[in-house]
Chains A and B, each alone.
Chain A
Amino acid sequence: MSTSDVIVAVEGVTKIYQQGRVEVRALRGLDLVVRAGELTALYGPSGSGKTTLLNLIGALDHPTSGRVLIEGRHLGALSRRELSHLRRDRIGFVFQAYNLIPVLTAYENAETVMALQGVEAGTRRRRVGELFAEMGLEGMEDRRPDELSGGQQQRVAIARAIAAGPAVVLADEPTANVDSETAERLLDIMGKLNEDHGVTFIFSTHDPRVMERARRLVRIVDGRVDGDGTREG
């Protein structure tokens, strides 16, 4: 594999939160490389630093030291404006919950990032239509988020993240708030999108069933990588 396939490079990153007088060392010199097409699960005990890591990769926060590179671009060197364009064009986010804008319909939520990118309306309609069909969301287009189940909301959030054609989709415990059946469904969808469209996923979890689905498992303990394995098949 060539270095040009590297989507995410995390190099010696530390993150220290200042909580009053107390310093919380959330990440302690963490290295990680994620290549195009990987489906990576970050797992580890609660408080190990998974969310912190995803936020740094997603350009939502700055490391205390070390570097984060997305497609070779050092985030620390980018302006605010470049960072927000990077989030818009190269990164997809799926949060644990409350991902969607309540006043927009499922369809409008899914197309909003594309609209920001200036993608033409016909193209948006077609792409969201395809994704909704693939994800079992047909007929949900005009529903507001509060008329959707938790699993449906997460699927719309995934559709929104993917529709914009990002280099990587970051999902922080995407199945934490849904029942296990729905969780499996979401994982199937992510797996399928990964296989069929080569979408690169990084998600965090502490759900064993979720881990089973991942092709690459990265164990995080105390803000460091404690194990990194790839499953074939």
Chain B
Amino acid sequence: MSILRMAWRNVWRNRRRSLVTVAATTLAFTVMVLYSSLVQGYLVAMERNLLDLELGDVQVHDPRYQDDPSLYSSIADASELLARFDAKGYAASARLLGFGLGAGADASAGVQIQGIDVVRDRRVSRIYERVKQGRWLDPGAPHEVVVGSQLARTLVVKPGDELILLSQAADGSTANDIYTVRGVLQGVSEAVDRVGVFMTDAAFRRFFAFPEGAHEIILRRPPDMDVDAFAASVRELAPNERVQTWRELAPTLASLLDSARSIMVVVFLIVYVAIGILILNAMLMAVFERIREFGVLKAIGYAPGQVLLVILGECAMQTLLAIVAGLLLAWPGLWYLTRVGIDMGKLGGMAMMGVVLDPIWRGVVNPSVFTMPLVTLVAIVGLAAAYPAARAAWISPIRAIQHR
């Protein structure tokens, strides 16, 4: 007890030095908590957008589709599969995929046409939330399409305008028809923004003369199931098809999301090394000034470990103060970042590797937002304090006492 009392009073011995150390540590810790909240918010948003808007958790394709993404590489028994997924209670929806040429009044561009089961699709995708102008598809309006924002700009069309689509139908005949633009999508993915044209599945089948089958089934996992177990279960239900998790569909992004957290820890380390040097310096000065005192402590019977505790205790108390102060300081910041967020729309929006992010960048609050900056801080402080503490603990008492 007297050891900790000594440590606590030593904190206040050189008030200014302790305050500078605590203030710098507080600042670094606060900034790292906010940074961690933002980075993790970014990662969560990125993963959510990738899954909710584009990929789902698991996708089913015909095995030929990957090498030959044509109308003919379709899952023939798609409706049978959907019935099996429904029986299991899995959220699933089929999409029809085709390519063609889109033309507005004075411009044309290559497009990817997706036929969507409007009712079912809501269970697997929140793409309908990304309609920026006009409205999302309606099964009762089969001649109305929704297009990506970049494509709308290229073709110079807006909701209410006409869009002509041209392609080759499944029977080899020419497919062409006139549609009305019903809505414009923004912030789904770069691909959808640039070339996406969405119509109802019925409209797609009529346009492409494609009565049966589907090209893609998107599934969402139940919340209590991990993605690999889910994929395994889907594979059992669809043994003849190619079943891929979102990680397999977007491997680069998946590994980026995985490594982003370790990159964050590297940033913590870099910032904290500066704090570590400050603490090292402060503790070296403290130990040097009190060298005689440590000699007296050892002479009257303090063991090296007890002297170590005096110094590490002093350092731990300062760090604890900084952590408490940092949490208090970070509180309003976290509140702002999670509730209000940073409006990136004003800065032109964000996209990363084809995934479009929400215009409002929000932080998240979860235990790791605190634990990761905390654990790294404690590790660095421990390292910085170890050397001065060890010097004092193992000093020869006689040399310390003779020191003037």
Residues in A neighbouring B6, C-beta threshold 8 A? 101, 103-104
Q: Which residue of B lies closest to A90 (CB)?
A: B301
* Pairwise interchain contact B397-A60, C-beta atoms closer than 8 A: yes
Q: Which residue of B lies closest to A112 (CB)?
A: B2
Bitwise, A85-101 to B at CB < 8 A (1) or not (0) is: 10111011101001111
Bitwise, B96-140 to A at CB < 8 A (1) or not (0) is: 000000000000000000000000000000000000000000000
Residues in A neighbouring B5, C-beta threshold 8 A? 104, 108
Instruction: Answer whether residue B297 sits at the interface, using C-beta atoms and an 8 A cutoff.
Output: yes
Instruction: Answer whether residue B9 sits at the interface, using C-beta atoms and an 8 A cutoff.
Output: yes
Instruction: Answer whether residue B1 sits at the interface, using C-beta atoms and an 8 A cutoff.
Output: yes
With contact pairs A61-B398, A115-B2 given, residues A95 and B301 touching in the complex (Cβ less than 8 Å): no
* Pairwise interchain contact A95-B302, C-beta atoms closer than 8 A: no
Secondary structure at chain B's binding surface: helix, strand, loop or mixed?
helix
* Pairwise interchain contact A116-B302, C-beta atoms closer than 8 A: yes
* Pairwise interchain contact A85-B301, C-beta atoms closer than 8 A: yes
Instruction: Answer whether residue B10 sits at the interface, using C-beta atoms and an 8 A cutoff.
Output: yes
Choice from A81, A87, A102 contacting B300 with Cβ under 8 Å: A87
* Pairwise interchain contact B2-A108, C-beta atoms closer than 8 A: yes
Interface size class of A (residues with CB under 8 A): 20 to 34
With contact pairs A84-B302, A115-B1, A115-B2 given, residues A103 and B13 touching in the complex (Cβ less than 8 Å): yes
* Pairwise interchain contact A55-B398, C-beta atoms closer than 8 A: yes
Residues in A neighbouring B296, C-beta threshold 8 A? 93, 95, 98-101
Instruction: Answer whether residue A151 sits at the interface, using C-beta atoms and an 8 A cutoff.
Output: no
Residues in A neighbouring B220, C-beta threshold 8 A? none
* Pairwise interchain contact A103-B10, C-beta atoms closer than 8 A: yes
Bitwise, B337-354 to A at CB < 8 A (1) or not (0) is: 000000000000000000
| A87 vs chain B, min Cβ distance (A) | 4
Q: What are 19 inter-chain pairs, A to B, with CB distance below 8 A?
A: A58-B299, A60-B299, A60-B397, A84-B302, A85-B301, A88-B301, A91-B301, A93-B296, A93-B300, A95-B296, A98-B292, A101-B296, A101-B297, A104-B2, A108-B5, A112-B300, A113-B301, A115-B1, A161-B300
For the complex with contacts A80-B304, A95-B296, A102-B13, 15 further pairs of A-B residues with Cβ separation under 8 Å are A60-B398, A81-B303, A84-B302, A85-B301, A85-B303, A93-B296, A93-B299, A98-B292, A101-B297, A103-B13, A104-B5, A104-B9, A108-B5, A112-B2, A116-B2
Top 8 nearest A-B pairs by Cβ distance? A88-B301, A103-B9, A87-B301, A60-B398, A84-B303, A115-B2, A61-B398, A93-B299
